[in-house]
A and B are shown apart, each in its own frame.
Chain A
């Protein structure tokens, strides 16, 4: 499964080997371009629609009929979340903290373990590699896991966010495959020069593995930012530890559990029209806040992930 990227370097890939376009070619091209454009629209529209709702006046939104642009512009939905609601503001901070610290820890752990597993002379390699890989296909189940966390004192503890997902077998396999591709002579030469393993890892292997380290870093950061179930399971009774995705999940679930979200929106505003936020307007604004960091990371991510995925798919 060799990946050749050279063909996609130019603006238009190599000219086709036939000269004249037949009717079939034209029909097929039209069909494909239409389908792909449709895919783009279907992918992007819901985000734009959510964006429009999040900037539209909440009371006005109840009337419906908002598509790509807000009808009555307002920043109140965001203001309400970021300034008026300490819980949600807190949740955003927590999500950011766990993404940064959890991400850093995870990258460090993955780097160390991958390096050791990539060393063919490591004497426990044949035992420890399957030990780790097996965790990809197997889980003890949430109830035993939960009880264990309770016994370890990790309930309502920020550490649970950092430790539980610290080492992912898949990420180790991806990074290890990359390191396997580095010439063995580098490590050997360094050893002859008397360098310690730490020196070899951080001074030689790490600088050469930057593309894969960046990929894994971005993946784990996105994973941390996106995760909500661990908050619900382990930290739901401690508001100080709440996360953005969990708060958003709570809104979604409550919206689903009442018969009509519109009725709820209307009820919330019936008494005091100055309140002017509804569960829907808050939800859309929070959705946008949850997506925006991904959009910032995304360009960096895309540069690397195709390569990372292909390596993992072939060798992992």
Chain B
């Protein structure tokens, strides 16, 4: 918040100063620039900021017929209800577990892939692998979820077929039907979809490493594995740190589309994340005030986490995300 408010203040400062002297004059001089950006920013104001007015619903027993100004005020009742709602507490747990696993898996897989690609010296091979590995990033989660669903099918999904051929199981495991597999399914399918893309940032950090470091290490007798551990990894450490810190801000967000598309009645005890819960229970069930209260809780915690991660990343290398 701090970084943001400072920026905001200097902005307002400049504006006040301008007002004293020639705010109107500046506005007139730069009217063409205003014409180019204000219409679009008005849409941002309406679509991104105006919904915040709806937050008052969370403190009301909102009914669409009475509207925001006519509904009864109920104070914090919706928030109190949320924290006594076992389904909501379950949703918090699912959200944190899912996003934590997702972060860990996507993080390590991306670094591993980047390190491997960086060791490949046949450029055509490297390019081909990259091209293929980016592909799933560009298909929709609907398509990706269909693929996950097919691959994990108990009757003819390739995973079950392979497990059966290896003799590990005797009949197909209904992966999608059991809550205990759900977190892992999300984490691994997320790796499948995004690993190639996520590796880009580390790969580009690696291209900036000074080749002399490798030469010096080689002269000192370091083998390739040793050079990876002693040169490559330390050199991309700043990137690794920043990417990890940025992920903290996503802890309260398990990814709605992905989780919602793979959730079904039999795995709901693990797939009920906060946003899935808000959509399926509060919104479809017409509990608008309650859903808004949960949404506010989620947004507030997310923003707090982002502020923390911003603060940490500034401590680490002097750059924040704001």
Contacts and interface: CB of A to CB of B under 8 A. Distances in A.
Interface string A194-223: 001110010000000000000000000010
Given A140-B299, A142-B279, 8 more contacts: A8-B207, A17-B215, A32-B116, A47-B135, A115-B36, A131-B44, A252-B146, A257-B264
Given A143-B291, A147-B64, A196-B32, A132 B122 contact: no
A147 B291 CA distance: 12
Interface of B: 4, 7-8, 10-12, 14-15, 18, 23, 26-27, 30, 32-34, 36-37, 40-41, 43-44, 46-55, 57, 64, 113, 116-117, 119-126, 128-129, 131-136, 138-143, 145-147, 149-151, 153, 155-156, 158, 176, 192, 195-197, 200-201, 204-205, 207-208, 211, 214-215, 218, 223-225, 239, 249, 256-257, 261-265, 275, 278-279, 282-283, 288, 291-292, 295-296, 298-299, 302-303, 306, 322
Contacts of B120: 32-33, 36
Contacts of B117: 36
Contacts of A11: 123-124
Given A16-B121, A130-B8, A283 B265 contact: no
Contacts of A46: 147, 150-151, 158
Contacts of B204: 1, 3, 306, 310, 313
A130 B7 contact: yes
Contacts of A229: 256-257
Given A28-B224, A135-B44, A145 B150 contact: no
Given A134-B4, A249-B261, A261-B153, A47 B278 contact: no
A128 B38 CA distance: 10
Interface string A149-168: 00010000000000110110
A43 B192 contact: yes
Contacts of A109: 40, 43
A287 B149 CA distance: 12
Given A141-B296, A143-B295, A45 B158 contact: yes
Contacts of B43: 109, 163, 166-167
B322 A133 contact: yes
B129 A228 contact: no
A148 B49 CA distance: 11
A42 interface: yes
A122 B30 contact: yes
A223 B208 CA distance: 31
B44 A290 contact: no
A99 to B, nearest CB: 12
A75 interface: no
Contacts of B121: 12-13, 16
Interface stretch (A79-87, A178-186, A270-278, A294-302): A294-302
B268 to A, nearest CB: 11
A267 interface: no
Best-buried of B26, B117, B207 by chain A (most CB within 10 Å): B207
B26 A126 contact: no
A240 to B, nearest CB: 20
B33 A122 contact: yes
Given A1-B239, A130-B8, A252-B142, A112 B249 contact: no
A141 B207 contact: no
A3 B239 CA distance: 14
A309 B54 contact: no
A40 interface: yes
Contacts of A284: 146, 150
Given A1-B205, A119-B33, A291-B139, A141 B224 contact: no
Contacts of B18: 123
7 contacts: A3-B204, A39-B133, A113-B36, A123-B18, A139-B299, A140-B295, A141-B278
B100 to A, nearest CB: 19
Contact of B149 (A131, A256, A294): A256
A180 B163 CA distance: 54
Nearest to A109: B40
Contacts of A227: 140
Contacts of B122: 12
A24 B283 contact: no
A43 B132 CA distance: 7
Contacts of A222: 138
A229 B256 CA distance: 10
Given A32-B120, A39-B129, A124 B278 contact: no
A102 B149 CA distance: 30
A130 B321 CA distance: 11
A42 B159 CA distance: 11
Nearest to A112: B36
Given A1-B239, A226-B140, A298-B138, A166 B40 contact: yes
Nearest to B148: A46
Contacts of A67: 158
A313 B96 CA distance: 25
B129 A40 contact: yes
B225 A123 contact: no
B217 to A, nearest CB: 10
A140 B52 contact: yes
B142 A290 contact: yes
A116 interface: yes
Best-buried of B4, B30, B140, B283 by chain A (most CB within 10 Å): B140
Contacts of A18: 218
